[in-house]
Amino acid sequence: MNPLRKKRLFIILGILAGVGVAVGLALSALQQNINLFYTPTQIAAGEAPQDARIRAGGMVKEGSVSRSADSLDVQFVVTDYAQDVTIRYRGILPDLFREGQGIVALGRLNADGVLVADEVLAKHDENYMPPEVTKALKESGKQPEGAMPASAGGKMGGGQ
């Protein structure tokens, strides 16, 4: 490569490295604001603001969903397998909402530490499986990987 081209290449690489460092610093400064949701552990540690709309994310605890008989009110517990947050919601839940499923709820924390949500989103994980495989896994006594607390909880709680 001739010296002029080499010089131009180094200038470009220098600019790229500079911009990369700048963006990296900006993103690490914004770390908290880029996260879509707070985990139950963060909420328990008081990292989530009290008087603002926040998102809480985690797995719906098995056996915690209780629906009201005469309305769309539903209450459930979201967990990251370290801490729990109780969520109250009125409305239609997404198709994927079920116990053991990862969800993100948007709402305000009230004085009792209950999140009163006005939006609940289901979080899908990266595992895909044909239904026959899940059925076979269930029959052999093993849970399908997608609903397994260890793998999913690791992701949910491991954000920080």
Residue length, the chain?
A: 160
Does 72 bind another protein (CB under 8 A)? Our answer is: no
Binding another protein by CB under 8 A: which of 81, 114, 146, 148? Answer: 146
* Binding region for another protein (CB under 8 A) out of 8-16, 45-53, 64-72, 82-90: 8-16
Fill in the amino acid letter for 27: L
Say if residues 80 and 41 touch (Cβ distance below 8 Å).
Answer: yes
Which CB atom, from 47 or from 111, has the smaller least distance to another protein? 47
Contacts with 47 (C-beta within 8 Å, 6 or more apart), sequence order: 38
Q: Is 89 annotated as belonging to a binding site?
A: no
Taking the complex as a whole, how short is the minimal distance between the CB of residue 77 and another protein, in angstroms? Answer: 19
First-last CA distance in the chain: 45
Spatial distance between the Cα atoms of 119 and 74, rounded to a whole number of angstroms: 12
Q: Is 124 annotated as belonging to a binding site?
A: yes
Spatial distance between the Cα atoms of 82 and 89, rounded to a whole number of angstroms: 23
Binding another protein by CB under 8 A: which of 25, 45, 82, 129? Answer: 129
Annotated binding site for heme: 124, 128
Q: Which positions touch another protein (CB under 8 A)? A: 5, 8-9, 12, 15-16, 19-20, 23, 27, 31, 34-39, 57, 93-97, 104, 119-134, 144-146, 155, 159
